[in-house]
Amino acid sequence: MDSTAFAPPVALLEREHEIEHVQSALRAASRRAGQAVVIEGAAGLGKSRLLEAAGAQASGLGFRVLSARATELEQGFPFGVVRQLFERALLNAAQDERERWLGGAAALGAEVLAGVPAPGSGASLGVPADDPSYAWQHGLYWLAANVSSDSPLALVVDDLQWSDAPSARTLAFIARRLEGQALALILATRPIDPGTTPDTATLAADPDATLLRLSPLSEASIGSMIASRLSGTPDRPFTRACVEVTGGNPFLVGELLSEAAVRGLDPTSENAADVAAIVPRGVSNAVLLRLARLDRPTRALARALSILGDGAHVGDAARLAGVTQAEIESGMASLVSAGVVESGGAVRFAHPILRAAIYEDLSPAERERLHCAASKILDERGAPVGQVAAQVMHTEPAANVGAVALLREAAREALALGDATGAAALLARALDEPPAAADRAAVVLELGQARARAGTPDAVAPLSEIVARGEDEAAIVAAAIELSGMLFFSGRGAEGAAVLRRALERLPAASSGREQLDVALLGASYTSVSARREADATITALRDPGGPARGVLEATTLATLAMDELMHLRSAAKAGDLAVRSLAAGLPSEPHRGEAWAIVGLAVLAATDELAAALAGTDEILARARERGAATTVANISALRSFVCIRLGDLVAAEADANAAIELAPDLLGAEFVVLALAVRVLAGLERDETPESLRRVIGQAGIGYDTEFSPSTQLRYASGVLSAAAGNHEAAIEELLDCGMEHPALGGENPAVLPWRSAAALSLAELGRDREARELAEDEVRRAEAFGAPRALGVALRAHALVGLGGERADTLRQAASVLAASPARLEYARALADLGGALRSSGSRGAAREPLLEALTLATRCGARALERRTRAELAAIGVRPRTTDRAGPGSLTPSELRVVGLAADGRTNREIAQTLFVTEKTVETHLGRAFRKLNISTRRQLPDVLARASN
Ligand SMILES: Nc1ncnc2c1ncn2[C@@H]1O[C@H](COP(=O)(O)OP(=O)(O)OP(=O)(O)O)[C@@H](O)[C@H]1O
Ligand SMILES: [Mg+2]
């Protein structure tokens, strides 16, 4: 064996620029300004070498370095890369250290790190059924953050192009939250095809990451590589020939020079022509030449290893290659000294290009035979199913029942860990096998479910097949629910409802599956306009089961009836009672598709002025969802809570909740109700004196528009109309507001307790002098609100009626509005009516009588945080010569809603990290808010907070 075939390490050439970037990223990270660096380059350009250097740099700067390398065959192992990163460090950590690392939200991440016990993994920390992916990412992020609080942490990942999807998503999640953490992410990847690995492509294209694209080496550098490998300074033509053949790729240069060294070629002008002859068919040829010099059993071993991939067991490789114990030992030694395989514990190719060259040299028949044999060997030894399945994926279909079972099991595991795309690929292959006739339907269903969860439209075909022709009742139900859910989600509600209906027709009358389908149909009708139309007949036929709800079907039925009572403007008292009885089923911890009745029940309470009960319900769900890291639930329920808070007149809380929902939504699938938060954000912003232009921008940035198919989005249309009016654009306002009443009653246009669009439009009409229309609309709204019987809506309608009505009756009608609102929990509307009453009295000359309502309005407006109203009321008071003391603008009143929320948690004694975990934001965000709040409050430590807040609330 010629040892010169194995290239000695060469100094890193021409990477000064990259090294400098990495260095400054690391320096920044050690100052807690976390950074991500992505090194990109084609095979062999020197990414791994650079990564090695980066790792060494990081260690030198006192970083803890955790590294991982993705491999082609492991792409199908969910969280494989993340496990490589953290598993060893966690196992090697001392008990107390491990507990610290997995403390708080990080415990959620332990679920995916096999072999690492979650500390105190009680029920409260269980992974939610709803959106485990977010909770895992959130947990793993905080694990990295916790590890980095001892000493700065560098996460170094090589060959990212082969990363499993869940790991790529997790790294992307971390990359977006690096600020304020002593964390550096250093990633290397070959150029990525976004079509095949979208998650990895997103990560590599992260706009905040520094992208370093590696260039080929220059002629000068290649000259120096030649000089260090072959005898003597190379002649220019020889160097040029090397550049020509390799394109300056250092890996290829190395291979070329190894071969030249074996042949005893000197780097002279005369030998330049031989360079091209060494590698007539590209460089893999040079690799194969190297291999050709080894003996037969060693070559067989190398081929077996190329089939099994990095991390193969030597025993498996030996069985696969059919070599003896003695042959393995000498074979492995030869492969190491030939530089094909690295020395040390796990079997690893010295370079991925080597594995690819050996693998690609196999004939298709040979590959097939070896993959088949490998799957059997791995299966017999009890290797993880994912590993066995990876082998099966490379074989031709053979109607093998065992293979089908194995692929299905691997798919189940992948799905459980959030890799729906991976699961779908495994199941598609299982279907090709094909399965035994008796199993086919089950595989089709699983394939459809996996594709639906991956969000791909090709889920429709397999799921429709089961709904139309399946024979198993449970399968029909499952397929219909999955398919309809997917259709609702993509705005195709009518089709979704039709699917559920078709499934209902296929089930016998006594089937227990009907209940689930009924619940799904009603659940869809809550938010999908076309599903609501489809469900009209079903809803009309619903019977009140009587008494408090027991179970999901009763809760759903009652919530649907409550909603119907509300939307059809029947009775507020009855709607409230139905809602309360639906909620008696017990609040689900994560209301999602099947349990959306809870959201509906609470929304009905909000519309019928049962605001305290609605608030208590949202708080209960939120507390549990936060603990579980169930972000989708937190986003949806925060949106609902913002809606309750604005009705209570707590504008600060309304805005903080709305912001929380809006900020979380882009990371989530299924945070549908943010549209509600956006509407509240706009209405609260107007009251808090933000300009209409800036609020229009808020709508634009949220990227959520009015969606005629999604019923809660009428709230946004209403808010947008009010915004246009505030901007003085009354024509546009009238158009948008009148639109709110046009369609199906389920959109809320009938009932002013849902959408007081008539009164809002009336005010704009009056501005344009269209008084008669204004009065008609306002009167209509008063009649509706009276009929329904919700005081807030009636007060709002009466106020508008007074403002657009005849001057002589104005004060009386406003007094009536104020007295109705006084008895309701709607503080903001009450303040508004009082302010207008004071204004009307003043302008009619009753200055003395104006004083009391104006002072009361001022107190309430200040308490609500309604700055616009406060300003107007002060102006009215000034006009009658009253100048109350201005509120303390340096106190908590000067804080933004988000600052107040952070300050409130800090005053309760929570650490920045705990606050960040609770609110799903970074610690840096918490620090920034607290810093600003401290400056405004003129305090220096958080110990002063409780005092300052207590003083302010007195
Ligand atoms: N800047 C450099 N100067 C000198 N030699 C280098 C340089 N970069 C890489 N090499 C050599 O080239 C070979 C290939 O480098 P490396 O393994 O880092 O490539 P890679 O980009 O990681 O390829 P792959 O995409 O296949 O993993 C190694 O043997 C390495 O020593
Ligand atoms: Mg590499």
- Facing residues of 183 across strands? 153
Question: Is ligand 1 within 6 A of the CB of residue 351?
Answer: yes
Which residue's alpha carbon is at the smallest distance from atom 29 of ligand 1?
A: 251
- Choice between 524 and 575, residue whose per-residue pLDDT is larger: 575
Kindly give the number of the ligand 1 atom that is closest to the alpha carbon of 52: 18
CA distance 405 to 437: 13
Sign of CA dihedral 134, 139, 140, 141: positive
Give me the pLDDT at residue 76, please.
Answer: 79
Percent of the chain with pLDDT over 70: 95
Mutate to test the pocket of ligand 1, among 6, 10, 38, 40 (most ligand atoms within 8 A of CB): 10
Residue 124 · residue 160 · CB < 8 Å: no
Q: How far is ligand 2, taken at its centre, from the CA of residue 158, in Å?
A: 6
Ligand of minimum distance to the alpha carbon of 161: 1
CA distance 528 to 497: 9
CA distance 931 to 941: 10
CA distance 498 to 514: 15
Query: What CATH architecture applies to the domain 893-953?
Result: Orthogonal Bundle (1.10)
Q: Which residues contact 560 (CB under 8 A, 6 or more apart)?
A: 522, 525, 526, 539, 542, 597, 600
**Cis ω on the peptide bond leading into residue 434 (within 30° of 0)?**
yes
Question: Is ligand 1 within 6 A of the CB of residue 48?
Answer: yes
Give me the pLDDT at residue 148, please.
Answer: 96
Question: Is ligand 1 within 6 A of the CB of residue 13?
Answer: yes
Residue 485 · residue 452 · CB < 8 Å: yes
Kindly give the number of the ligand 1 atom that is closest to the alpha carbon of 7: 29
What is the torsion angle, in degrees rounded to the nearest 10, for the CA atoms of residue 484, residue 485, residue 486 and residue 491?
A: 90
Question: Is ligand 1 within 6 A of the CB of residue 43?
Answer: yes
CB neighbourhood size of 492 (10 A):
19
* Confidence label for 687 from pLDDT (cuts 50, 70 and 90): very high
Question: Is ligand 1 within 6 A of the CB of residue 407?
Answer: no
Predicted confidence (pLDDT) at residue 127 exceeds the cutoff of 50: no
CA distance 795 to 592: 34
pLDDT in tens, 202-247: 898 888 899 999 999 999 999 999 999 998 899 999 999 999 888 8
Give me the pLDDT at residue 284, please.
Answer: 63
Question: Is ligand 1 within 6 A of the CB of residue 617?
Answer: no
CA distance 483 to 480: 5
* Confidence label for 628 from pLDDT (cuts 50, 70 and 90): confident
Give me the mean pLDDT over the 331-355 stretch: 87
Q: How far is ligand 2, taken at its centre, from the CA of residue 46, in Å?
A: 7
Q: How far is ligand 2, taken at its centre, from the CA of residue 353, in Å?
A: 9
Ligand of minimum distance to the alpha carbon of 356: 1
- Facing residues of 341 across strands? 349
Question: Is ligand 1 within 6 A of the CB of residue 14?
Answer: yes
Q: How far is ligand 2, taken at its centre, from the CA of residue 51, in Å?
A: 9
Question: Is ligand 1 within 6 A of the CB of residue 248?
Answer: no
Give me the pLDDT at residue 754, please.
Answer: 97
What is the torsion angle, in degrees rounded to the nearest 10, for the CA atoms of residue 163, residue 164, residue 170 and residue 171?
A: 0
pLDDT in tens, 277-308: 776 555 567 778 878 889 999 999 999 999 99
Predicted confidence (pLDDT) at residue 75 exceeds the cutoff of 90: no
Question: Is ligand 1 within 6 A of the CB of residue 339?
Answer: no
Q: How far is ligand 1, taken at its centre, from the CA of residue 340, in Å?
A: 14
Burial class for 421, CB neighbours closer than 10 Å (0-12, 13-18, 19+): buried
Mutate to test the pocket of ligand 1, among 71, 72, 251 (most ligand atoms within 8 A of CB): 251
CB neighbourhood size of 462 (10 A):
26
Question: Is ligand 1 within 6 A of the CB of residue 47?
Answer: yes
Mean pLDDT of the chain: 91
What is the amino acid identity at position 314? V
Give me the pLDDT at residue 526, please.
Answer: 87
Q: Which residues contact 616 (CB under 8 A, 6 or more apart)?
A: none
What three-state secondary structure class fits 33? strand
CA distance 17 to 15: 5
Question: Is ligand 1 within 6 A of the CB of residue 10?
Answer: yes
> What's the start-to-end Cα distance of the chain, in Å?
88
CA distance 200 to 171: 9
Burial class for 845, CB neighbours closer than 10 Å (0-12, 13-18, 19+): exposed
CA distance 610 to 389: 55
Give me the pLDDT at residue 10, please.
Answer: 62
Question: Is ligand 1 within 6 A of the CB of residue 46?
Answer: yes
Give me the mean pLDDT over the 857-878 stretch: 95
Q: To 10 degrees, what angle do helices 791-804 and 807-822 make?
A: 170
Q: How far is ligand 1, taken at its centre, from the CA of residue 48, in Å?
A: 6
Question: Is ligand 1 within 6 A of the CB of residue 69?
Answer: no
- The H or E element spanning position 155 is strand 153-158
Predicted confidence (pLDDT) at residue 3 exceeds the cutoff of 60: no
Predicted confidence (pLDDT) at residue 199 exceeds the cutoff of 90: no
CA distance 419 to 451: 10
* Confidence label for 24 from pLDDT (cuts 50, 70 and 90): very high
Question: Is ligand 1 within 6 A of the CB of residue 730?
Answer: no
Which residue's alpha carbon is at the smallest distance from atom 23 of ligand 1?
A: 44
* Token pair belonging to 425: 């690929």
CA distance 4 to 517: 71
Give me the pLDDT at residue 852, please.
Answer: 96
Q: To 10 degrees, what angle do helices 597-607 and 631-648 make?
A: 10
How distant, in Å, are the alpha carbons of 332, 423, 763, 809, 858 from that of 791?
84, 53, 20, 21, 21
What is the amino acid identity at position 462? P
Q: How far is ligand 1, taken at its centre, from the CA of residue 247, in Å?
A: 14
Q: How far is ligand 1, taken at its centre, from the CA of residue 44, in Å?
A: 5
CATH topology of domain 16-213: Rossmann fold (3.40.50)
Q: How far is ligand 2, taken at its centre, from the CA of residue 316, in Å?
A: 25
Percent of the chain with pLDDT over 90: 70
Give me the pLDDT at residue 356, please.
Answer: 87
Kindly give the number of the ligand 1 atom that is closest to the alpha carbon of 250: 12
Q: What are phi and psi of 264, to 5 degrees?
A: 65, 35
Give me the mean pLDDT over the 890-918 stretch: 89
Give me the mean pLDDT over the 523-551 stretch: 90
Give me the pLDDT at residue 124, please.
Answer: 29
Specify the pTM: 0.85
Question: Is ligand 1 within 6 A of the CB of residue 356?
Answer: no
Give me the pLDDT at residue 7, please.
Answer: 47
Which residue's alpha carbon is at the smallest distance from atom 24 of ligand 1?
A: 43
* Confidence label for 487 from pLDDT (cuts 50, 70 and 90): confident
Kindly give the number of the ligand 1 atom that is closest to the alpha carbon of 188: 22
Give me the mean pLDDT over the 256-275 stretch: 89
* Token pair belonging to 224: 């120096």
- Choice between 851 and 5, residue whose per-residue pLDDT is larger: 851
- Choice between 117 and 576, residue whose per-residue pLDDT is larger: 576
Give me the pLDDT at residue 954, please.
Answer: 58
* Confidence label for 813 from pLDDT (cuts 50, 70 and 90): very high
Predicted confidence (pLDDT) at residue 568 exceeds the cutoff of 70: yes
Which residue in the block uniquely carries the two structure tokens 């005369």? 270
CA distance 354 to 345: 19
Which residue in the block uniquely carries the two structure tokens 């859910």? 485
Question: Is ligand 1 within 6 A of the CB of residue 801?
Answer: no
Q: What are phi and psi of 802, to 5 degrees?
A: -60, -45
Q: How far is ligand 1, taken at its centre, from the CA of residue 46, in Å?
A: 3
Predicted confidence (pLDDT) at residue 691 exceeds the cutoff of 50: yes
* Token pair belonging to 415: 């799905």
- Choice between 913 and 353, residue whose per-residue pLDDT is larger: 913
How distant, in Å, are the alpha carbons of 54, 59, 74 from that of 66?
12, 10, 19
Give me the pLDDT at residue 888, please.
Answer: 59
Q: Which residues contact 329 (CB under 8 A, 6 or more apart)?
A: none
- Choice between 23 and 702, residue whose per-residue pLDDT is larger: 23
Question: Is ligand 1 within 6 A of the CB of residue 865?
Answer: no
Give me the pLDDT at residue 130, please.
Answer: 53
Q: What are phi and psi of 188, to 5 degrees?
A: -125, 140
Question: Is ligand 1 within 6 A of the CB of residue 229?
Answer: no
Q: How far is ligand 2, taken at its centre, from the CA of residue 2, in Å?
A: 25
| Domain ranges across the chain | 16-213, 219-288, 893-953
Q: How far is ligand 2, taken at its centre, from the CA of residue 595, in Å?
A: 48
Give me the pLDDT at residue 913, please.
Answer: 93
Predicted confidence (pLDDT) at residue 947 exceeds the cutoff of 90: no
Question: Is ligand 1 within 6 A of the CB of residue 19?
Answer: no
